[in-house]
Structures are given as C-alpha cells and as structure tokens.
Amino acid sequence: MSNHSTKHDTMVLERVYPAEVARVFAAWTDPAAKRLWFTGGDGEGEYSLDFRVGGREFSRATLADGGDVYTYDALYVDIVPEHRIVYTNHMLRNSDRISVSLTSVEFAAVPEGTRLTLTEHGVYLDDLDQPEYRRQGIAEQLDAIASVLSGGEG
C-alpha cells in the first residue's frame, strides 16, 4: 500500500556575494557557469539550460554509488534581467515524482555587492523527499555560487 501524502514548506535563503548584480545574475543564465554550481560541474549526467520565459532547465544524474537516478525539470515563467527569476520545477527519484516547487530568485545591489534572496514554496510528495533535504541542497548550491564568482569550480 502506498503512502500518498503531501508536505508543504516555504523556505527563504539569502546570500550576499561580493560581486555586481550583473555577474551574480549571469551565474544563473550562462549554462556553463550554472552547471558548475548547480550540478557540481563534474560533467556527469545530463544538463541543459534554455534561459528564457517558457524555456526549460533539465538535469538528470545517477548517484555516485550507481543507485538512484534524480531528475530535475524546471520551466521559467518570469525573468526580469538582473532583478528576478521565477520558475516552477519538479523532481523525480527514478520514476517517482518526489516534489513540485515554485521558486523566485531576487537580486538587489547592496554596499557589499549583491543580495540574493531565494524563496521556494515546495510540495513534498509521499514522504519521498523532505524540506530539510531540499534546504540543505539549495544552501550548498548557493554557497557554490561564491566559488564560481571567484573563479573556482563550484
């Protein structure tokens, strides 16, 4: 018998990067730069980014132990260059849908550089994913942006 359940969560994560808004925004729009921080940039798995309203972002990778395959599929619904990005996404583990989310990313110039505010409204399905897992994963990605901006590899 399956556990058909939903868990809802809203998270807000902020980072301040010592870089101009245009550079931080570009880390989200350039496929090569985004792959570095979003997927770890190891070249494993599939990745594509069509950054435009109506465009999609897609990632599929198998865990290092050869186990589960994770698929991320996003649709961009609003883009205001250097101000905001809004997208929906769903994630699969193997063939099971584990979550569906609506996310906004806002960029603001501050004296230290750029304040990025990411807000995600998630629905976690059938106990296959948890808000705390997503919060940790996105936090690690946002931290990896700093490395990309400084010339590192995520």
Over residues 16-56, the pLDDT tens digits come to 999 999 999 999 999 999 999 998 766 678 999 999 999 99
Distances from the Cα of 121 to the Cα of 6, 40, 95, 116, angstroms:
13, 24, 22, 17
Q: Inform me whether the pLDDT recorded for 1 exceeds 60.
A: no
- What pLDDT score was predicted for residue 93? 95
Does some domain include residue 129?
yes
Q: Determine, yes or no, domain membership for 76.
A: yes
Within a domain: 10: yes
Residue 12's pLDDT is what?
A: 98
Q: Residue 154 pairs with which residues in a beta bridge?
A: none
59 in any annotated domain:
yes
Instruction: Kindly write down the DSSP assignment for every residue of 3-18, as one continuous string.
Output: ---EEEEEEEEEEEES
Residue 61 belongs to domain spanning:
6-149
Any domain includes 74: yes
User: Which of the four pLDDT bands, split at 50, 70 and 90, describes residue 66?
Assistant: confident
> Is the full-model pTM beyond 0.85?
yes
In a domain, 58, yes or no: yes
**Which pair of tokens denotes residue 17?**
């990067």
Question: Using CA atoms, how far apart are residues 87 and 55, in angstroms rounded to an integer?
Answer: 10
Confidence (pLDDT) at 153: 61
Question: What is the mean pLDDT of the segment spanning 2-15?
Answer: 93
**Does residue 1 sit within a domain?**
no
For the segment 95-102, the average pLDDT, to the nearest whole number, is 97
Ranges of H-type helices in the chain: 21-29, 31-38, 131-149
Alpha carbon 124 to chain centroid distance?
Answer: 16
Residue 154: inside a domain, yes or no? no
CATH code: domain of residue 142: 3.30.530.20
Number of domains in the chain: 1
